[in-house]
Amino acid sequence: GSGKSAFASRHLPAEAIISSDQLRARMGRDEADQDVNDAVFEDLRRRVDDRLGAALLTVVDATNTDWMRRSEL
């Protein structure tokens, strides 16, 4: 990658970063497990909504190569 995740982890508080890879690793076999994507992005959207609703700094760390997933954010 280009270092976006590393940049975010160095410069932002960990609680502000919502990572699809980390969620995937928790919910599936590992961070590359695409079988859990629907559940991962549902959880990601909920976390983003909760944090933004509380006016908290929020960064989504995801490749977002799928335009449908991007549009949901």
Please tell us whether the domain made up of 4-72 is placed in CATH 3.40.50.300: yes
Separation between Cα atoms, residue 10 and residue 33, nearest integer Å: 26
Classify strands 17-19 and 59-61 as parallel, antiparallel or unpaired. Answer: parallel
**pTM for the full predicted model:** 0.84
CB atoms within 10 A of CB 42: 12
The domains of the chain are located at 4-72
Instruction: Quote the tokens at residue 69.
Output: 């997933």
Q: Which of 11-15, 23-27, 59-63, 68-72 comes out lowest in average pLDDT? A: 68-72
Distance of CA 44 to the CA centre of its chain: 6
CB atoms within 10 A of CB 68: 7
Report which of residues 68 and 8 the model is more confident about.
Answer: 8
- The 10s digit of each residue's pLDDT in 33-54 is 999 999 999 999 999 999 999 9
